[in-house]
Amino acid sequence: MRAETSTPPEQACPIAPVVDLVFSRWTTPILWALNEFGRQRFVELERCIGTITPKVLTQRLRQLERDGLVTRTYHAEVPPRVEYEISELGRSLAPLFATLADWSTENLPKVEKARSAYDSAS
């Protein structure tokens, strides 16, 4: 009997780590908003995204800061002010976002049409 060797996901699909890093539930809207609108305070970012809770936004911003995709600037004033902006590393994802935006404009209607056809055949 031959023992199976498991291939690490990074080797089986080299983009899997990037997808995990960038395309989680809230990461993409946060990065897109910071790239599109520039430096923002927490409440501005929260309003821009809309349905995210403050707790989740805080968690995602911390993770993005840890990953080097977002920078956090603390201003020691009264009241204290914290601003977030996309880092150079995060900004390097802008062409990817632009390509995905173009793809969605061109192809999401086709996806919806395929879904409708599939659903009506079921």
Structural domain including 78 reads: 9-91
Check pLDDT > 70 for residue 7. no
Strands in the chain per DSSP E: 40-41, 70-75, 81-86
The tally of CA atoms less than 13 A away on the side-chain side of residue 78 is 0
Q: Which helix (H) or strand (E) holds 67?
A: none
The mean predicted confidence, pLDDT, of the chain is 89
Write down how long the chain is. Answer: 122
Give a yes or no: residue 120 inside a domain: no
CATH number at residue 38: 1.10.10.10
Task: Please state, for a pLDDT cut of 90, what percent of the chain lies above it.
Answer: 70
CA distance 116 to 96: 28
The C-alpha atoms of residue 41 and residue 10 are separated, in whole angstroms, by 35
* DSSP SS3 for 25: coil
Asked if residue 106 is part of any domain, the answer here is no
**Structural domain count of the chain:** 1
Q: How far apart are CA 99 and CA 42, in angstroms?
A: 28
| Residue 111 lies inside a defined structural domain of this protein | no
Q: What is the pLDDT of residues 50-103, one digit of tens each?
A: 899 999 999 999 999 999 999 999 999 998 899 999 999 999 998 988 898 899
